Structure 1
Amino acid sequence: MEKEKKYAGDKIEIFESVSLSKNFKTGLPEKETVISNEKPATQDFQDDKVYTESDERPEPKNGMAKFYEEFMKDFKVSPEIKGTARIYIQFIVEKDGAISNTKVLRDAGFNSGDEAVRVLKTTQWNPGKVNGKTVRVMFTLPISIVQQ
């Protein structure tokens, strides 16, 4: 039976196993506890972590200005939207720059959130980095639509 505990940022694993020796008073097998601060070589627990902050933020391949320009070209604005509308999309930029786990945080109505997700999924991104290592990063994208 394996139990895992964390203390002050260090990982300590506690393994409980039944030894072959018996307690002479009770006649039952004795439990043996082995404590190790070594991480198993086969598992990388930080590999799938999603960061909310990074040293190098994810960004579209051609930069944000070009991204917004192309985004608004492809975005089909509903004629029902009048004035200024804001849409917020949250997503994860994966290690390979792919977009996943899209979520519309704020929708301007008339399927504008779904349309923003559709266009977003057609874009290419540079992934974020932490300590020089490519990581998964949560990103929130604000989109403003101005229509007369």
Structure 2
Amino acid sequence: MKKVLLLTLLCFTYATKAQKNTEDELIYTTVETVPVFVGGYKALYSFVCENINPPKDIPKHKRLSKVFIKFVVEKDGTVSSPEIVKGINDQCNNEAIRVINLLPKWQAGGMKKYGIWKPLRVYMTLPINFFQNKFDCEASYNQAIIKK
């Protein structure tokens, strides 16, 4: 009887530990406080336009020259795990991933749990437009920000 009780207690302890590790690894799509790029969207898109090296093979139609990329903003604000949600071609997709990997730390997102704010891992999706020059890139993003 004591062996069964001890075995049950050990299993419960292991299950509790495993559950805590799983909670730390969850990636949220919706949180109370979303991650914020330091300086806001204008600074984010300015960073993208400064760092993007558009390939020569960009589709001419605006709607077709946009890559949607999903990434994780970690608890410490670093960016990780970029992946293409909707791409254009290999050159543009790889360039979008390269630029996302260059992003500096964000202000982490999170939620209040039991009255205490807790940073969480959060998915973000960002459209990256491809233009032949920096001026067109900034003009496009500035127009998008004004519409919001």
TM (norm. structure 1) is: 0.68
Secondary structure of 1:57 counterpart? coil
- What is the distance in 1 between the residues matched to 2:90 and 2:109? 32
Matched ranges for 1:124-139 at <5 A: 124=104, 125-131=106-112, 132-139=117-124
Match of residue 128 from structure 2: 143
- What is the distance in 2 between the residues matched to 1:141 and 1:112? 14
Distance 1:43-1:75 versus aligned 2 partners, 3 A rule: same
1:108 paired with 2:93, answer: no
Whose strand fraction is larger, Structure 1's or Structure 2's?
A: 1
- What is the distance in 2 between the residues matched to 1:118 and 1:51? 23
Larger Rg: 1
Matching residue's letter, 1:108: I
Match of residue 34 from structure 2: 57
- Pairwise CA RMSD: 3.0
Partner deviation per Cα, 1:51-110 (whole Å, 9 max, x = no partner): 110111112122111110121121111222123111011111111111111111111225
Partner deviation per Cα, 1:105-140 (whole Å, 9 max, x = no partner): 111225111111111111121111111210000111
Secondary structure of 1:44 counterpart? helix
Moved over 6 A (4+): none
Matching residue's letter, 1:56: T
Residues 54 and 131 in structure 2, CA contact (< 8 A), matched pair in contact too = no
- What is the distance in 2 between the residues matched to 1:60 and 1:90? 15
Secondary structure of 1:80 counterpart? coil
Percent of matched pairs sharing the same residue: 26
Secondary structure of 1:121 counterpart? helix
Partner deviation per Cα, 1:7-31 (whole Å, 9 max, x = no partner): xxxxxxxxxxxx258xxxxxxxxx5
Residues 83 and 146 in structure 1, CA contact (< 8 A), matched pair in contact too = no
Secondary structure of 1:111 counterpart? helix
1:83 paired with 2:61, answer: yes
Which consecutive unaligned segments of at least 5 residues does structure 2 have? 137-148
1:123 paired with 2:123, answer: no
1:72 paired with 2:53, answer: no
Whose helix fraction is larger, Structure 1's or Structure 2's?
A: 2
Which consecutive unaligned segments of at least 5 residues does structure 1 have? 1-18, 22-30
Secondary structure of 1:108 counterpart? coil
